[in-house]
């Protein structure tokens, strides 16, 4: 049984060669690596500055609010159309699913309670003797 490794016929696999090549290009001592570090630091500084800007935060919050309102409006329109066509809506289907889940849970609880009640009744019932033992008891005069 051969052990899997990163070489095939003595040469590294393509993925290994690509990762090593990228690592070499972006190494801190190479010119491309130095340029990458410079760009990354500059982009991080800019992103930090923008992320703390009140103007950007207000803009992003407003866009998120508009997007959520638009989505809610479209969902309401879809539900109105579905109701007009006398089809169930997603919210109604979710409600039915929740009710079915609740009923299933109640049925499981009722089933376990019924099992406990049946076991209690069986424990209280006197044990019946088989017919052969009853006949033997009658002939002995103990019946």
CA atoms within 13 A on the CB side of 41: 6
DSSP the chain: -PPP-SEETTEEPHHHHHHHHHHHHTSTTSHHHHHHHHHHHHHHHHHHHHHT-HHHHHHHHHHHHHHHHHHHHHHHHHHHHHHHTT---HHHHHHHHHHHHHHHHHHHHHHHHHHHHHHHHHHHSPPPPPHHHHHHHHHTT--
Give the chain's end-to-end CA distance (angstroms, integer). Answer: 78
pLDDT exceeds cutoff 60 at 6: no
What is the pLDDT at residue 1? 45
pTM across the whole model: 0.43
Q: pLDDT-based confidence at 26, cuts 50/70/90?
A: confident
87-126 residue pLDDT tens:
999 889 999 999 999 999 999 999 999 999 999 999 888 7
Q: pLDDT-based confidence at 7, cuts 50/70/90?
A: low
Place of tokens 């309401």: 76
* Angle at the Cα of 33 from the Cα atoms of 32 and 37, rounded to 5 degrees: 120
What is the pLDDT at residue 115? 96
41-84 residue pLDDT tens:
999 999 999 999 999 999 999 999 999 999 999 999 999 999 99
What is the pLDDT at residue 21? 87
């Amino acid at each position: 049984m051969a052990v899997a490794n990163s070489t095939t016929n003595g040469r590294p696999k393509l993925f290994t060669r690509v990762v090593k090549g990228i690592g070499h290009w972006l190494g801190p001592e190479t010119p491309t690596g130095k340029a990458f570090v410079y760009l990354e630091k500059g982009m991080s500084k800019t992103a930090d500055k923008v992320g703390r800007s009140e103007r950007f935060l207000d803009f992003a919050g407003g866009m998120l609010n508009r997007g959520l309102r638009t989505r809610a409006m479209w969902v309401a329109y879809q539900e109105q159309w579905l109701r007009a066509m006398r089809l169930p809506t997603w919210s109604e289907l979710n409600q039915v699913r929740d009710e079915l889940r609740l009923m299933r849970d109640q049925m499981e609880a009722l089933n376990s309670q019924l099992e406990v009640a049946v076991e209690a009744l069986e424990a209280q019932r006197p044990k019946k003797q088989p017919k052969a033992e009853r006949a033997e008891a009658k002939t002995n005069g103990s019946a």
